[in-house]
Structure formats: C-alpha cells, structure tokens
Chains A and B, each alone.
Chain A
Amino acid sequence: MTVSFMEGNEAIARGAIAAGCSFFAGYPITPATTIFASMLKLLPPKGGICVQGEDEIASMGYCMGAAMAGRKVLTATSGPGISLYSEQISFAIGSEIPMVIADVQRLGPSTGSATRGADSDIQFLRWGNTGGVPVIVLSPKDAEDCYLLTVHAFNYAEKYRCPVFVASNKEIGMTRESVDLDAIALPDLIKRTPYKGDNFIPFEAPENSAPPFLPIGCDTLVRQTSSTHGPDGYITIDPDTIAQVQQRLKDKILANEEELTLYEEKIRPDADTLVICYGVTSRAANQACDILAEQGKPVSTLTLKTLWPVPEKLIKEKAKDYKNIIMLEMNLGQYVGEIKKALPQKEVRFYGQMNRVLITPKTIMEVIENE
C-alpha cells in the first residue's frame, strides 16, 4: 500500500497511463492545466508523446490524428476549451474516433471564473455536437474516482469507438487528497486490437456496436471522412444508408446503458428520502446524510458516476421505494430534468447552487429537513 497525496487532475493523468494512454495534447487552461503538467512528467519517460497546441482546436486535432494512427489518446480542458473542441467532438463522434476528454469544469458561462468550480457543462457535454448523437460522460466525486473513471473512460472509448468525457470539477481537480492507487480495483483493460480479418469494411458493425478498428496508413487501406458515410466509409446521400448509420451511432451508446452505468449508493433501510447527486456535491450529501442518520433520521443517497447515457433503469429501480426524491447539483439544474424524465410519477425536489461556493453538508441537511 502506498498512499499518495495528489490532486484529482494528477489522478486522471495516472489513470490514463494505467489505461495505456500514450498520447496527450492540450492547451493551457485553468483548472485543467495540471493534467497536462502531470502527463508531461509521466508520458515522455515511457516513450509517449505530449504536445502543447497553439490552441484547443489544434490540441484536439492532434489527438484525433494520433487516435487514427492507433494510439490511445487523452486531452484535457475546461468549459471554454470544450467550446473550441466542439466541432472536432462532432467529427470524433461521426467518424467513430476513440478518445478520452477530461473536462475540469469551472464556473460558466464563457470564460466565467477560471479558478472557481461548478458543474457547468453537464448538458453542454451531452449536446455540444452537431447531430445530437449520444455521448458517454462519467462524473468523478474525488481523486480516487478520477483515477478509476479515467480507466473506465478509456475502455468505453475503445469498445464504443467514441469520445468519452470525464466531467471533473475544479474542486476535485485542484484539491489534493490521500489516495492509494494500488488499492483501487481497476477493470480489465480493453486493448486497441486491430481488425485481423480479410475485407476490412471500416464502418460495418454488428447491431448496437462499434465497428472494428484499423489505423490509417498501415497495410490495409483506411480512409476516413468527417462527412456522412455508409459502412464502406464512402460519402453517401442514400437515405436508407444514412438512416442506418445514424441509428447505429445512437444505439451503440443507448442500447448499452446498463453496461455503461456506474454508481455508488448508501441505502438506509428505514429511509423514505433518496438524495440523488453526482460529482463533488455527493461528498457533502453523504456527509449530511451520515449526520442525519446519527440523529435518527435515515436518508439514502445515490451517486451517479455515469451521467450520459442517463442510467434510467438504475434511477427507476433505486428510487421506486422512496417517497421523497431530492436532486442536488452544483449548477442551476442541468441534470434534474433527466431525473424527472426517469421518474414521471415522483415529485423530484431540486437544490442547486452556482456561485463558486461548494454546497455544504449544512445546506444539504436544511434542504432535506425542509421536506
């Protein structure tokens, strides 16, 4: 056992290394810069590549190129950088280019507050692509999660050939805490396995899955386009082919909702209230509920680690026995709508705060007790 004192950003970098990432590109932006700084320390000694772009668009572009050359890639930014990534996020979705994007969120809109946290980008990450294609977004609550979820993110990127986001927050990314990385049980790594059969058809995939991968520029001819293409990779205007491709891009994520569902829960048998939350807020929520339990007022918590695709089945199942549902967010209510959609029969109460201050356990206790 080796306990380290590290910030969430370093844990993301270490998670990426553990997942086999060998390429990083980024552009300076608070509060994500220390992911770059960590990768710069970790990656080159292992023979990996670490590049600073002239802007976010370039950094994202390097990652896409390196991914198509066959590498596992990571980039890291904050909300304003996601804005600039956006066009290429669409490209990565449409062309099924695997990559992991760490978004260390800060208070928006726009430049917002560079050094202040908020879960600003929860809907933006989901909908920030042309076409509205589903994406995978994971939400860590602490440094340990940053490590673990980054490894999951790389696995999902490989399996579903898409960009996967780790939606961290300044408060997690730039806060040091004790972590024992060796004690964290990691999932089995999904390696980048090039297609071995004959007749490589670049975008032909079984139902609800991603196509097999071959890098550009090797023995088999691989061509990639950002435009609408059929299974053969050629640009197409055929309505049926287009419809099939669009459907598969949607299904490969949504049909695998259960496999993509990561969460934590603290169920208290006599509770009639369930607090649902994600990210750094869940730490305060759990603390608040611990205190209430000591006072003889049991409240359960459900911490979502997968935000997109929405783990609807999980939410329905976990919430079914509770009279009161409370949703907490470090924004003005970006995800509560998804919870309401999943629980149409229930009244979902919401508390959100977006003023650069963390929601405290005291506030959460007041919210719960004002039932």
Chain B
Amino acid sequence: MTEKKKAKLTPVLDYLKHEDPFAKGVAFCPGCGLELLLRFIPQVMGNDIVITGTPSCSAPVLLGQNNQSWHKLSYFGTLMTGAAANATGLARYYKKAGIDNTVVCFNGDGTAADIGFGNLSGAAERNEPFIYICYDNEGYMNTGVQKSGTTPYGATTTTTPFGAASKGKNLRRMNLALKMAMHKIPYAATATLSDLGDLAKKLLKAKEMKEKGFCFLHVFAPCPTGWGAAPDNTIEICRRAVKTNYFPLWEAENGKIRMTKTIKKPKPVKTYTELMKKFKFMDEEDHKILQDDVDYEYCILGGLSVLEAECQLPLPADE
C-alpha cells in the first residue's frame, strides 16, 4: 500500500464535467480496471452517450442484474460476434435522422481482437460514425480467464496453463491499436488508467472526431482477479505498463501518429511483470522474448510516429 497523502485536486478532475451515472455498489471485483473506466467515460463524455456492449464482465453491471446495479445510460446489450455491426446500425440511423447521439461501442479484447474483429474491421473500413472502445484485460475474464489475441507472451491463463506440456502462452500478442490505425480511420489511440488526463483528452477528441467517422480507443484495463494481482495495484500496473513501454500511449489523428507520452528511460519489462502472478512462471529467457516483443512494437511505433509529417491521411472529400 502506498502511503496516504492528503487529497490534492489534479487536472484530471477538471475533465469530470458530468455526473457518475452508476449507482453505488456495482458488481465488479475489487480493483477492477473496467469499473474505473466505465464510470470515467460518461463523466467525461456526458451521460447522453448511447453505449453498446456484449456478454462480458461489463454486462451484469450495464444491464443491472436483478436491478442490483443500475445506471442512467442508454444501453444496447449486443452479441460478441456482431458488436460493431449493431453499433453501426444505431449510428447510421442517428446520422441519417440528424440525431446528435454519440454511440460508444464498448467491448473487451475478446470481442475486439478475436470473435468480433471481422465486423470491427468492417466498420472501420466503412468509416462508420461511432466510437469503439476496447477495454483490454488481455483475456476472457468473465468465462474464467482464457487467453485472447491480446494475451501477452508468457502469461498463464486457463487455456495457456503452466505445466509439463505448456509454459503459459507461447505466442506473441497482436497489436490491436496499430492494426486499427492502419484502417486509416480519423482517430485511433491507446490509453490507460494511470494517465487519466491523457485518457480524458482522448475521449473528448474521439467525441469530436466521430463527426468525421470511426474512432478507436484501446484502453489497457487490468483485471486483478484474472491476473493474480493485488486489487490496490491496478493503477500501478497501468503506470508500469506505460513506463516499460509495454503499453505505450499514442494517438493517430487523421493518420498522424504521435506519442502522447514519451518515456525517456524505459524500465525493463520485468518491473511490470513482477506485479502479477500470471507471469510468475516466466524465466529469464521468457522475459527476453517478452522484452523483445515490447521493443519490437515500440520500434515500429517509433518509426511510424517519426514519419508523421509524411503520414497524414488526406482529409475526407466533403471538407
């Protein structure tokens, strides 16, 4: 536990212009990254957003299971296979009818990176007018911690266990945010919970940019239960993910890729992995592979962001 300091107002609070639409006592696990994110989004973007989601950890809360946890948001609980397609239907209608609604398609990494990627990609390619937020807890947590496309190398899950025949996930994670940026959408960004000011700016930018079309936000949101981490370490995990470049913060506005936070001296990825049990079986060699993966992704990103001047997307024809 960190030492308690006297509460000081930070610039983050300035972004919380709207009320928290959730009732107290929602059904999340202690330290849930998703809860903070879910409460944060409408406080920044407004309670008038239309949120869509899927069966997941968010569903019992967004749907108020047995009326135990309720909120004031419009919510369309869809299926994982068609999340972005359902949001497309809503957003297309609102646009055609001239209704000024912000559709936020809010899904986990299982939906975004795996089962729902096809129609996420399709919605991005067609530049549909809504915001897709992926809260990435690196696996299927609600069904009991199975691996997903964003589960990193070395992580143990129930389908990439550690044992005689398996040493955790032996494949590298996909870089979902870069993949989405390569759809040449108006706005793509990464964000996390240790940098709420950065997250708030990106939420507001997405709300503005969705007038031009599809916006994608990839938010790193730890799951203490599934990752074997202390509930009071959620924010520290996010912080170290950023400081090790495990999860760099960047945005691509109109195709211009820009780091929103640059880490001058990145720490070894081990300072991040040591915070949770899901990496506890990794040896030095495994850490080297994960570090190489982190370095490789950062290198690609670095190259892309350096080239920003030449990388701007042509503006849409109607502008």
Q: How many A-B residue pairs have CB under 8 A?
A: 45
Question: B140: CB under 8 A from chain A?
Answer: yes
Q: In the bound complex, do residue B55 and residue A111 qualify as a contact, i.e. CB atoms below 8 Å apart? A: yes
From residue 51 to 85 of chain A, which have CB atoms closer than 8 A to chain B? 52, 54-56, 80, 84
Binary interface encoding of chain B residues 105-126 relative to chain A, with 1 for a CB under 8 A from any of its CBs, else 0: 0000010011101000000000
Closest-by-CB residue of B relative to A84 is B81
Closest-by-CB residue of B relative to A37 is B158
Q: In the bound complex, do residue A28 and residue B144 qualify as a contact, i.e. CB atoms below 8 Å apart? A: yes
Tell me which residues across on chain B come within 8 A of A130, comparing CB atoms. none
Which of A29, A36, A55, A114 has the most chain B CB atoms inside 10 A of its CB? A55
Task: Give the Cβ gap from B184 to chain A, nearest Cβ, in Å.
Answer: 23
Task: Give the Cβ gap from B189 to chain A, nearest Cβ, in Å.
Answer: 24
Interface residues on chain A, number (Cβ under 8 Å): 19
Task: Give the Cβ gap from A167 to chain B, nearest Cβ, in Å.
Answer: 21
Complex Cα gap A45–B161 (Å): 13
Complex Cα gap A44–B81 (Å): 29
Complex Cα gap A56–B80 (Å): 11
Closest-by-CB residue of A relative to B116 is A55
Closest-by-CB residue of A relative to B141 is A28
Known pairs A37-B158, A44-B165; A28 contacts B143 (CB<8 A):
yes
Q: In the bound complex, do residue A28 and residue B146 qualify as a contact, i.e. CB atoms below 8 Å apart? A: yes
Q: In the bound complex, do residue A29 and residue B143 qualify as a contact, i.e. CB atoms below 8 Å apart? A: yes
Binary interface encoding of chain B residues 157-172 relative to chain A, with 1 for a CB under 8 A from any of its CBs, else 0: 0110100111000000
Q: In the bound complex, do residue A52 and residue B159 qualify as a contact, i.e. CB atoms below 8 Å apart? A: yes
Complex Cα gap A27–B166 (Å): 18
Complex Cα gap A52–B110 (Å): 12
Question: B79: CB under 8 A from chain A?
Answer: yes
Task: Give the Cβ gap from B309 to chain A, nearest Cβ, in Å.
Answer: 36
| B contact residues vs A (CB 8 Å cutoff) | 55, 79-81, 110, 113-115, 117, 140, 143-144, 146-147, 149, 158-159, 161, 164-166
Interface pairs A-B: 6 shortest CB-CB: A55-B115, A54-B114, A28-B143, A44-B165, A28-B146, A28-B140
Of the A-B pairs whose beta carbons lie under 8 Å apart in the complex, a sample of 30, sorted by A's number, is A28-B110, A28-B140, A28-B143, A28-B144, A28-B159, A29-B143, A33-B143, A33-B144, A36-B146, A37-B158, A37-B159, A40-B158, A40-B159, A44-B165, A44-B166, A45-B164, A45-B165, A54-B113, A54-B114, A54-B115, A54-B117, A55-B80, A55-B81, A55-B115, A56-B115, A80-B79, A110-B79, A111-B55, A111-B79, A114-B55
